Structure formats: structure tokens, C-alpha cells
Amino acid sequence: MALKPRIAESPQVRLIELKSKPFFIVASVEVGNTTTKSILTATNMDNGRTHIINKVVRMTRDVRTPNPGEVVFGRTLTGVELTREAVAELVKSTLIESMDKANLDIKTDLDFVVRSTGVVAGFDSPDEVGEFIKALAEGCLMAGVPPKNMTPPMSVSNIPKKLQKYSKLEKVIFDGAVASVMPPIGSTGIEIVANEMEGELATAGIKEAAKLTDVDFRNPCISIDFGTTLDGRITSTNHPYAKTIGNFCGYAGAIPDAIIRGSKVVDLKVGTALEVFEKQKPPSFITLKMKAKVIEEYSRRIHELIIIERVPGDRKRYGSVPVRPDAAEEIGVTLIGCDVGENGSNMGKLSAIGMEISKSHGLSIVYAVIDEVMAGVVYRLIEVAKKEGLIFEESTIGITGRAGITGSKPKLILSSLEKMNLAPKIDERVVFVDDGLARGAAVMARCMNSLGTPQTPLGGRHGGKCILAQRIKMQER
């Protein structure tokens, strides 16, 4: 029987429903290496289902250039300079546009905002990401978001009246666990990878989206987010809260971006695969059949340039992402990285291969090669996790991000994982999710406000019940 990818898709929600039903409306504001997004979500607190209201997506490279006197505190993976003021302005305009499109008022209709960034390549250490988060907060405040809508409430009275009956704040407080997973931070408070928050949100978002499928994506699980940079988590079987025992880092969507730049159909410095493949039709079945050997050979050559491994203990960066392998080892977390040479030193070689494919076979075969390559990246990441003893009998896998869910990647990923013999019916253990990070923002906001739906739990173990009672006992100690 053919493998069937489980792809989570949200139903639409109408404005009249948002105004009349108990919806928790959250804005996920993210400034990434490639795109800046404001994604509005609405969670129906009667059934726990999250809907995507709208998405406003801009290219981060279009952020205004630094004004005289402004301090450049970071750069995107392609070298676009960022200042606190410029980022704040970009966030403000993107969030306002998103709210206007939805015909919603920032002050009265928006319940919470979660900010995150995938721009970590231009920082020297994980700690510096904090400055970026402050810039995002400034942009939200400039847009008119009340400060109370960006921090956990002190009491139920600080939660909107329509949602107060759904809050468990009088029984349990937010203790740092999001969807029953504790973040991997040691006694010193050092973050082990710069884009840790992205991995946290992606994991939570996949947990929520999986509710729309037949995949039970609770602990233990493996989340992989294929944005421009790679992030994600591997969780343990611990109960009621799982530990983060693995983290992914390095390059993801940057790999197809480098390949497509060689075709010269996008900007040689800041062009992305996203721009091409939204317009380019995927190759036909007949073309794939005829060119199978060609696609396989190019994929093999590209994989020779890609390194996927446990991050060596002496690295300060991996795939341009600041990391702390020493801190990871101290708390029992395995860092698994994806690099192209050393911190992208062989990206130019990927572009050269992309040029060769484009000239000899056309863009449709570039498309096919990229799908094959990224399926191979997933296989190799899971292979390392398996060798490190991080995969359990009941582990499920969730994939989100443009470089992991578009085109034929879901089918190819399932086919490659089937060869690894992880489970008898691998397609029942893998879920593909769009907007995992934005969905995770909605989940984090719910956790901060202790807004639970015990009848459809996100936390706990695979096949288990809601862990609210156990959380209450644990916090009473």
C-alpha cells in the first residue's frame, strides 16, 4: 500500500465567529532570515482547535537600511544589516497590516502577541538574541499592542472576561514548560543554541496541528523545522513533563536557496528558492521517471558537500548558528547539526551544481533535485538521532518549514524513513505541518495564560490522558 503523508490543514474561520465565540486570538510576529511574518491565529477554547486567520509575509531583505547613528546589532544569513529601530518599524507595519486585513482592532480584539526570530547567523552568542526580541517588542508596542498582552498574567482577572472560565491559572501557573516539554537550559541559564525559542515554538505548533490528523504527536517526539536555518527538538519519555534531549541546528532552507542561486533566476546574494517554486510547476511523473538517474546523481553530489553529525564539542558556531556544545553536554542534550562545509564554506559549490542542473536540464529538474536532497537531509538527521539513542519505540516525527513540506518532499521523506525500519506503518508516525512556528506561538500564549482544553490535551505522553492533575500535585510540592 502506498504511503500517505499526514498533512495538517486548518479550516477557515469567519469574522462573525471570531466576534461571537470564545476565541483566543494571538499574533505570531517573526523576523526570519528570509521572511518577516505576522500570522494571526484563533483558538476555539471549546474544542482547542486553532485556526489560521491570515498571514502577512514580507521579505526580510526589504527592511530599510540603517539610518545615521543607528547601531547594527545583527545580520541575516545573506548579510542584510539590521538595527533595533529598523526591525521595530518592520514589525509595526507588518502587524498592523495583518490586523487590518482581518478587520480586527489591536487594542480590543488581539489577546496576545508572541515574538520570535530565526535571524541568528549574525550574532556572536545565543545571549545576543535577547536584544533582537526587545526590538520585536518595541515594534509591537509601536503598533499599539498593550504591554499586558505580551507577558504572562498575574491573576485570572488580568485575562479577558470571555476567556476567564477557561483559564486554570488558579490551579497551575506557567512554569516554563510549553506543551509539557521543559526547555534545555542548565543551572547557569545558558542557552545551548541561539534559535532555541524557534525549536520550542515549532514543537508546540506541530503538537497542536497534529490534532487535525490521526497522528498522536505527544511525548516522546521529534520536531524538525526547515526554515532558512534548522531548528527543532527531540523529547524524552519523562512524565508529566518531557525533557529536551536533542536539539537540531545549522542550515535547512539555506541549502535549496544556494542551489537555486546558481540558476541565476534569483538575486545571486539574497535570492531564495521560495521565490521560484511558488511560480514554477513541479516536474511531471513522466519527467521524473525519465530523469530519475540524473536526479539521483545530482542529489548524491550535493550530499557529499552536506555534513550532518553530532556537533563537535569545540564548535562555537554550527551552520552559522551560535552554539554551546559544552553547556549541552552538561545537561544531557545532544546537538545535531547540518552544515555545508564549515559554516557554509561550500555554499558556492552548491550554487555551481545548481547552475549545471539548470543549464543542462532546466528548472523543473532543479526542483526535483532539491526535493530529493531535502528528503535525504531528513533521513540523515533521523539516522544520527537513532545512533545517539534518542528515538524510542513510540516516538513520532513532525516536520514544518518551507524546505520540508513543499513539493514532493513529504512523499520522498516517508519513502526514505520507511527504509530505516523505525515503525511498521511509518506514515502513521509522521506529520507535516504548515506554519508550525505560528501555531506554536498560539500554544505558548495559551500556556502563559494557563488556558487549557483537558478534553483535547497537547501535553503528556503518547496515548495518555491530560496531565493537569499531575501538574497540580507537582506544583503543590
**Rounded CA separation 401/437 (Å):** 8
The torsion region of residue 163 among left (phi > 0), alpha (psi -120 to 50) and beta comes to alpha
Helices 363-387, 347-361: crossing angle, 10 deg rounding: 140
CA distances to 40, 187, 442 from 413, rounded to whole Å, are 29, 37, 27
Q: What pLDDT is recorded for position 119?
A: 78
| Residue 443 belongs to a domain | no
Those residues with Cβ within 8 angstroms of residue 85's Cβ, 6 or more apart along the chain or in another chain: 67, 70
**Rounded CA separation 476/231 (Å):** 34
Of 119, 147, 167, which residue is a domain's last? Answer: 167
Do residue 275 and residue 367 come from a single domain? yes
Beta bridge partners of 242: 181
Q: What pLDDT is recorded for position 208?
A: 93
At 23 the three-state DSSP class reads strand
Q: What pLDDT is recorded for position 122?
A: 64
| Residue 448 belongs to a domain | no
Do residue 153 and residue 286 come from a single domain? no
- Name the DSSP letter for residue 236: -
**Rounded CA separation 241/58 (Å):** 36
Q: What pLDDT is recorded for position 319?
A: 94
Do residue 233 and residue 346 come from a single domain? yes
Cell of 216: 498522536
Q: Which domain holds residue 405?
A: 196-437
| Residue 266 belongs to a domain | yes
Q: What pLDDT is recorded for position 78?
A: 85
pLDDT tens per residue across all 477 residues of the chain: 578 999 998 777 877 788 778 899 999 999 988 899 999 999 999 888 888 999 999 999 999 999 999 988 888 888 899 999 999 999 999 999 999 999 999 999 999 999 988 777 666 655 567 778 889 999 999 999 999 999 988 889 888 888 999 999 888 888 888 999 998 875 556 778 888 889 999 999 999 999 999 999 999 999 999 999 999 999 999 989 999 999 999 999 999 999 999 888 888 888 888 888 777 677 777 877 888 899 999 999 999 999 999 999 999 999 999 999 999 999 999 999 999 999 999 999 999 999 999 999 988 899 999 999 999 999 999 999 999 999 999 999 999 999 999 989 999 999 999 999 888 889 999 999 998 999 999 999 999 999 988 888 888 898 888 888 888 888 887
Do residue 150 and residue 231 come from a single domain? no
| Residue 45 belongs to a domain | yes
CA 437 to chain centre: 4
CA 244 to chain centre: 16
Do residue 143 and residue 202 come from a single domain? no
Do residue 146 and residue 235 come from a single domain? no
**Rounded CA separation 179/235 (Å):** 11
Do residue 382 and residue 320 come from a single domain? yes
Q: What pLDDT is recorded for position 241?
A: 93
Do residue 142 and residue 252 come from a single domain? no
Do residue 237 and residue 152 come from a single domain? no
- CATH number for the domain spanning 86: value is 3.30.420.40
**Rounded CA separation 225/238 (Å):** 23
| Residue 393 belongs to a domain | yes
Q: How many domains does the chain have?
A: 2
Global pTM exceeds 0.85: yes
Q: What pLDDT is recorded for position 344?
A: 95
Whether residue 142 contacts residue 92, with contact meaning beta carbons closer than 8 Å, is answered with: yes
**Rounded CA separation 289/346 (Å):** 30
Beta bridge partners of 44: 23, 49
Torsional sign, CA 301, 306, 309, 315: positive
Those residues with Cβ within 8 angstroms of residue 364's Cβ, 6 or more apart along the chain or in another chain: 280, 281, 282, 283, 287
**Rounded CA separation 92/70 (Å):** 18
| Residue 247 belongs to a domain | yes
**Rounded CA separation 406/375 (Å):** 11
Do residue 59 and residue 135 come from a single domain? yes
| Residue 176 belongs to a domain | no
| Residue 308 belongs to a domain | yes
Nearest in space to 48 (alpha carbons), one of 166, 175, 219, 182: 166
Do residue 144 and residue 210 come from a single domain? no
The radius of gyration computed from the CA coordinates of the chain, to the nearest angstrom, equals 21
Do residue 230 and residue 99 come from a single domain? no
Q: What pLDDT is recorded for position 277?
A: 76
CA distances to 84, 211, 214, 282 from 461, rounded to whole Å, are 41, 14, 15, 38
Each as own residue / partner, the long-range contacts of residues 146-154 (CB below 8 Å, 24 or more positions apart, any chain) are 146/107, 149/110, 149/111, 149/112, 149/113, 150/112, 150/113, 150/115, 151/448, 152/448, 152/449, 153/448, 153/449
